[in-house]
Structure 1
């Protein structure tokens, strides 16, 4: 029997994206974010999440596809990027699905304005295409160091 990939589906603009559930620690509502001066534009600040200082990144801004307007549907995906806990703001987190690895293809160079470096593949589902993001590549070493500095204060 073939192993299915369990994926969290989330929305950015009108496009649905997915990420391997193993990369996501939790999905939270967006609470008060404390701004940190002198950081990159896409780093919105930090939150106190169950005693951990967690940097918050606007995923749309990081992917250079706009910025997020906060609504009641807005969620924060708490992920582990190279052993650093980071919160990624998304428009909504809608589902958890199983994907057959046979329906996943390599990413084209640019899809929906998102650079291929951030994409691990594209799943051809019955009713839609689902862009699978690679959170390990979302932040480069310089940005991770900046986030680490934010955490350490």
Structure 2
């Protein structure tokens, strides 16, 4: 069974690739607003552990999600290659902390395979668009829009709404 994204897309899509541990992931480059070095965040009380907090990005309060924690990977120390990818998803701007940004790759539909059954995986299949094949590497393609706007990530919106209400 093929995913809709793997067969119904334009001839080629560009992905920003990044690493989390030993795995390489990709997100649609059109969702990326900017890439920044990791900076200190303001922690929100009672926020889920994967929400590191918020940053002030040129006057806009932006929630920051640690993708290692979100995907249930082992904890890693933040270092000089740790970056924050600022994304435009839904009606919000969201920061995503990753180990490192790799490259921008163009993949045509022929190089994207369907998502295999991932029973017991920390990543729900519905948040993946496929597996990109690049030379000898495999790239896990994330539907970042669906992931960040999902009900479970809706906690980001609730936490921000509470913060904005307190500030008013």
What is residue 32 of structure 2 aligned with on the other side?
A: 24
Aligned residues: 152
Q: Is the 8 A contact 1:109 1:115 kept in 2?
A: no
Which whole-Å CA distance do the structure 1 matches of 2:139 and 2:128 have between them? 11
- CA 1:35 to 1:113, structure 2 compared with 1: closer, same or farther past 3 Å? closer
RMSD: 2.0
Larger Rg: 2
SS of match in other structure, 1:114:
coil
What is residue 70 of structure 2 aligned with on the other side?
A: 62
What is residue 74 of structure 1 aligned with on the other side?
A: 82
Q: Is the 8 A contact 1:11 1:90 kept in 2?
A: yes
Which whole-Å CA distance do the structure 2 matches of 1:66 and 1:149 have between them? 30
How many Å apart are 1:26 and its aligned residue? 0.7
- CA 1:17 to 1:36, structure 2 compared with 1: closer, same or farther past 3 Å? same
- CA 1:85 to 1:127, structure 2 compared with 1: closer, same or farther past 3 Å? same
- Once the two structures are superposed, the pairs formed by residues 3-152 of structure 1 within 5 Å of their partners are 3-110=11-118, 113-139=122-148, 140-141=150-151, 142-149=154-161, 152=164
Q: Is the 8 A contact 2:81 2:99 kept in 1?
A: yes
How many Å apart are 1:109 and its aligned residue? 2.2
Which whole-Å CA distance do the structure 2 matches of 1:47 and 1:36 have between them? 11
How many Å apart are 1:18 and its aligned residue? 0.5
Which whole-Å CA distance do the structure 2 matches of 1:10 and 1:44 have between them? 19
Q: Is the 8 A contact 2:63 2:156 kept in 1?
A: no
Q: 5+ residue gaps in structure 1?
A: none
Which whole-Å CA distance do the structure 2 matches of 1:7 and 1:151 have between them? 33
- CA 1:81 to 1:150, structure 2 compared with 1: closer, same or farther past 3 Å? farther
Which whole-Å CA distance do the structure 2 matches of 1:55 and 1:151 have between them? 11
Q: Is the 8 A contact 2:51 2:156 kept in 1?
A: no
Which whole-Å CA distance do the structure 2 matches of 1:40 and 1:61 have between them? 10
